[in-house]
Amino acid sequence: MPKPIVLSGIQPTGNLHVGNYLGALQNIVKLQNLGDYQMYYFIADWHSLTGEMTAAERRRQIMITAAELVALGLEPEQLTLFVQSHLPEHTELGWVLSTVTPMALLQRMTQFKDKAEQQTKNINAGLFNYPVLQAADILLYHATLVPVGEDQAQHLEFTNDIVRAFNRRYGDYFAPIKPLFTKTARVMSLLAPEKKMSKSLGADHVLELADEPKAIERKLKRAVTATAGGGKSPGAANLLELLQAFAPAKIYQEFAEAERQGNIRYSELKQALAAAVSDYFSAFRKRRAELLASPRELPEILAQGAERARSVAAKTIAEIRRLVGVR
């Protein structure tokens, strides 16, 4: 039996933060290490053109994201790690799929509506077509399992609609896909704990994986733990969850117990958490710096990943061309 094919990706939109890690990447590393899947992971740089980054920022963020993924333990020998734009096949399949996509399906996408509200001066057609390219990313490799956060659920349903539309028109070719949602709780902003942690809120709302111990301490000192109206503090709950994720079990249990007893000291919780996070990512910071300092290592890893991806993608495109009658 061939191993099931798992694929996911991430936009190169900034330094990764603990929300990205606990919400998605930790799970990718776990799935990789199980050894039960054939895995693809890619940097969605074509998707990132729908946003606001400059070309220079994009070029830099692609390399930073690649360095961070490798430093986190994505292992190029065990998982095909690549940059989307290194393969023209993604945009080629994207075009074919757009021609079987009913406009009405795209008009239902809530992420487009959200993004259109966020970037009112740049509501581009790429943003509208985003789910088509995402479907192409997945189907190009015949992936059947797609680990993503809940926010991507609608895009995966959309992908299955496209599978049906393509198969109805050109014959049974693509298999339906299944989402693999991660169970981890949503990580919240440090300064606005009612919102999901996100760089777009501001640098001090997030703990970046590359943050130095001093920065981690400073950001956590300022983290909001106060409650509105004396209820349970969402900020404190968030910090406790982070402590559970990053500290030794014993330390977490002490603080969880103090919380139950009602005598927890938030300044101590913040200190313990700062130490735990600094420690947890210390090897990561070192490896990240090494990779970014080496002129050869990352380009070689990404070239090898692209080559492996291409061997599959090119075959799919050849079959697609035959099926639609252009060759």
Contact set with ligand TRP (CB under 6 A): 7-11, 44, 47, 134, 137-138, 146, 148, 152
Nearer to ligand TRP among residue 23 and residue 193 (C-beta): 23
Taking the least distance from each CB to ligand TRP, the nearer of 152 and 233 is 152
CB of 19 to ligand TRP, least distance (A): 12
Alpha carbons 258 and 241: distance in angstroms, whole number: 14
* Other Cβ atoms within 10 Å of 147 Cβ, number: 21
CB of 44 vs ligand TRP, minimal distance in Å: 4
Which residue's CB is nearer to ligand TRP, number 17 or number 219?
17
Active-site hit among 121, 195, 196, 250: 196
Pick 141 or 255: Cβ nearer ligand TRP:
141
For 181, phi then psi, to 5°, come to -75, 140
Residue 21 and residue 72 in contact, taking contact as beta carbons nearer than 8 Å: yes
- Tell me the closest approach of the beta carbon of residue 88 to ligand TRP, in angstroms: 16
- Our answer to whether residue 196 is catalytic in this structure is yes
Residue with smaller CB distance to ligand TRP, 36 or 151: 151
d(CA 114, CA 108) in angstroms, rounded, equals 12
* Cα gap 60→68, rounded to integer Å: 12
Residue for token pair 């995966």: 156
DSSP 115-147: HHHH-TT---HHHHHHHHHHHHHHHTTT--EEE
Instruction: Name the minimum Å distance from CB 253 to ligand TRP.
Output: 33
Asked if 91 contacts 314 with a C-beta cutoff of 8 angstroms, the reply is no
Q: What's the CA gap between 118 and 113, in Å, rounded?
A: 9
Lookup: tokens for 104 = 């009405």
Question: Is 286 a residue of the active site?
Answer: no
Q: Residue 248 has which token pair? A: 């030794």
Q: φ and ψ at 8, to 5 degrees? A: -150, 170
Q: How far apart are CA 237 and CA 224, in angstroms?
A: 11
CA distance 266 to 234: 13
Which residues, other chains included, contact 142 with Cβ-Cβ below 8 Å and sequence gap of 6+?
5, 174, 175, 312, 316
* The residue count for the chain: 327
Q: How far is the CB of 90 from ligand TRP (least distance, A)?
A: 9
**DSSP classification of residue 17:** B
**Nearer residue to ligand TRP within complex by CB, 110 or 282:** 110
Min separation Cβ 183 and ligand TRP, Å: 17
Residues marked active site are found at 115, 196, 199
